[in-house]
Amino acid sequence: MPADTLSKVFAALADPTRRDMVARLSVADATVNQLAEPYGMSLQAVYKHLRVLEEAGVVSRATGPQPRPVHFEAGSLDRMDEWIERYRRQADERYQRLDRVLADMDEEQT
Amino acid sequence: MPADTLSKVFAALADPTRRDMVARLSVADATVNQLAEPYGMSLQAVYKHLRVLEEAGVVSRATGPQPRPVHFEAGSLDRMDEWIERYRRQADERYQRLDRVLADMDEEQT
DNA sequence: TTGACTTTCAACCGATTAGTTGAAAAGAGG
DNA sequence: CCTCTTTTCAACTAATCGGTTGAAAGTCAA
């Protein structure tokens, strides 16, 4: 329930529609209407998705005149990526250590 | 309704307790009791979390004698990492293109 | 076989989610 | 001003989630 930022980013990207939005926004900013076009859902539903992405920091909305285009904040994925890399590397180091141990056992057997 | 594997991985890691489990499992396999110890929750709740991680492919359980330790499947993060890197790179390339355009405008102005 | 431990199944609860519809603000432009 | 578009707010639904308790299986070893 704390809903820390990292959890929010993971949760935001757990939805295929929102991942698709991010994929499209990575190519170019888009208005909400442009974004909504491919999905068979109400405009309000799209606004809801955008709010989830926005509160996770994945996306921002331009200030100023309407319509205010949606912008992908690529840097918002950094902390998530760090998390993933950290534990992938951790597991890898553990694997290396296992190799080392097996090698040592091999030597002892000689 | 998503149920695709990638969504499941994102969703599995959206929960802080499950991320903590993965963090600890990246150091060493653990039994369910060992895993459960730090969290003030029932053993059944821990099994539920493990099932979520397992169905996302993030974790596996040893076959054979009880208790069957839990193992972190680091490779399960690959597809998620690819997704993230892809759209980070996409956004970066777009940024490079913008730089290029600005540079061209600068030249024209000379 | 008995008994302890591990694992799963099921029902329930409160909160959240993804969607809907309807209505109201808020802006931009004629 | 009026109107059209954009954006937000509110209420409602069905489904899912994270947790609980209670009970049932499975598994191992004395």
Rounded CA-CA distance B7/A22 in Å is: 14
pLDDT at A34: 98
pLDDT at A1: 47
Ordered per-residue pLDDT tens for chain A, 110 residues: 457 899 999 999 999 999 999 999 999 999 999 999 999 999 999 999 999 999 999 999 999 999 999 999 999 999 999 999 999 998 888 878 776 777 777 666 66
Question: Tokens standing for B13?
Answer: 């890691």
For B27, the closest of A11, A74, A94 (CB atoms) is A94
Domain ranges of chain B: 5-109
Contacts of A26 (CB under 8 A, 6+ apart): A72, A74, B87, B90, B91, B94
Contacts of A94 (CB under 8 A, 6+ apart): B26, B27, B28
- Contact, B72 vs B25, CB < 8 A? yes
Instruction: Give B36 CA → D10 C1' in Å.
Output: 41
- pLDDT per position as a tens digit, B4-54: 899 999 999 999 999 999 999 999 999 999 999 999 999 999 999 999 999
* Residue A45 approaches strand C within 7 Å at CB: yes
What predicted TM-score, i.e. pTM, was given to this entire model?
A: 0.92
Q: Where are the strands (E) in B4-108, listed by range?
A: 59-61, 70-72
Collapse the DSSP code of A59 into the 3-class scheme (helix H, G, I; strand E, B; otherwise coil) and give the result. strand
pLDDT at A91: 86
Q: What CATH architecture does domain B5-109 belong to?
A: Orthogonal Bundle (1.10)
pLDDT at A107: 64
